[in-house]
Amino acid sequence: MPSGSEVSPAPARPSLADMVRVPGGSFLMGSENFYPEEGPVRSETVEGFWIDRYPVTNAAFREFVEATGYVTVAERVPNPESYPGADPAQLVPGSLAFKRPPRGIVSRDPRAWWQYLPHTAWHRPAGPDSTIEARERYPVVHVAYEDAQAYAVWAGKSLPTEAEWEYAARGGLKAAIYVWGNEFAPGGRLMANTWQGEFRWRPRAWCRRRGRGVARRAAAGRPESDAPLKPFPQGVHNGAEPGSRHGPNRGWLGLRTPKRNQESEP
């Protein structure tokens, strides 16, 4: 069972065909409008780099697994030493999946809307009986940081830093609240795969039946629905526009080239 440190790069050099060059520069990173951990807003400077236009897909991750025999964290039996006192019968491979609570909840305990599903992994994303069939171009999910690092090594690339990711995601906009500007839904148009309704349990489609009105895309944020992707102004995906063939925006961002300030094909 190869671990991240045991994965070797693929023989072929990484291609820039599906990557975009992000020129270096300075920007205001972080936000004080939402979560405390996003602040404070501070000035950051990054060197130029190449970054994937789209998330790593199920098809690409499957190619990696088939080439290396890699087993993700979600597929491994948990180490009993990491869970002292746990019932050994409960230490089975698996991952978390969203579950809609039966009613409104006030608790901020994430266990109220997440559940641990045994034998759930990247190729069984919705539970042990699910599959990625017909979802080859969806972003891979149930991937731990260790798994992402292993894939990056195999692909001959590296994971972007937090600053590089936010800089690319901003698409050249300066100090904007959202990646498309400062208005959440310009002209009433939703710009991301956003939950609509009372979060965690009642989507907006339910509200429509109760006569409370409905947004333009009532199911866009429901757990069953997926918003397609399209590149940012700089070419990096953001999930804002429908009509693209690259799948939903519930995966992790793609990779960057390992050499900073590289202007051409590695």
- Regarding whether 143 and 66 lie in a shared domain, the answer is yes
Summarised one tens digit per residue, pLDDT across range 73-94 is 999 999 999 999 999 988 999 9
Domain tally, the chain: 2
On whether residue 111 sits in a domain, the answer given is no
- Regarding whether 145 and 157 lie in a shared domain, the answer is yes
- Model confidence at 155: pLDDT above 90: yes
On whether residue 64 sits in a domain, the answer given is yes
Summarised one tens digit per residue, pLDDT across range 161-205 is 999 999 999 988 888 888 899 998 999 898 887 777 666 555 554
DSSP states of 238-264: -S-STT-SS-BS-S----B-SSTT--S
d(CA 187, CA 24): 32
Which of these, 166, 193, 161, 163, lies nearest to 177 by C-alpha position? 166
- Regarding whether 41 and 60 lie in a shared domain, the answer is yes
d(CA 171, CA 51): 12
Give the phi and the psi of residue 160 in degrees, each rounded to 5: -70, 150
Summarised one tens digit per residue, pLDDT across range 126-143 is 999 999 999 999 999 999
- Regarding whether 146 and 68 lie in a shared domain, the answer is yes
The span from the first CA to the last CA of the chain, in angstroms, equals 30
- Regarding whether 68 and 10 lie in a shared domain, the answer is yes
- Regarding whether 200 and 180 lie in a shared domain, the answer is no
DSSP states of 7-23: PPPPSSPPP-TTEEEE-
On whether residue 235 sits in a domain, the answer given is no
On whether residue 221 sits in a domain, the answer given is yes
CATH code, domain carrying 44: 3.90.1580.10
pLDDT at site 4? 54
Band of the pLDDT at 148, cuts 50, 70, 90?
very high
Question: How does DSSP classify residue 52?
Answer: E
Summarised one tens digit per residue, pLDDT across range 54-72 is 899 999 999 999 999 999 9
Residue 139 pairs with which residues in a beta bridge? 57
d(CA 138, CA 187): 29
d(CA 198, CA 159): 35
On whether residue 55 sits in a domain, the answer given is yes
- Regarding whether 199 and 186 lie in a shared domain, the answer is no
- Model confidence at 250: pLDDT above 60: no
Cβ contact 221:195 at 8 Å = yes
On whether residue 168 sits in a domain, the answer given is yes
- Regarding whether 68 and 200 lie in a shared domain, the answer is no
- Regarding whether 66 and 12 lie in a shared domain, the answer is yes
pLDDT at site 200? 55
On whether residue 45 sits in a domain, the answer given is yes
- Regarding whether 53 and 18 lie in a shared domain, the answer is yes
Q: Which domain holds residue 212?
A: 193-226
H or E element at residue 46: strand 42-46
DSSP states of 99-125: ---SS------GGGTEEEEET-BTTBT
- Regarding whether 197 and 149 lie in a shared domain, the answer is no
Q: Which amino acid would we find at residue 196?
A: Q
- Regarding whether 144 and 12 lie in a shared domain, the answer is yes
d(CA 194, CA 53): 21
On whether residue 231 sits in a domain, the answer given is no
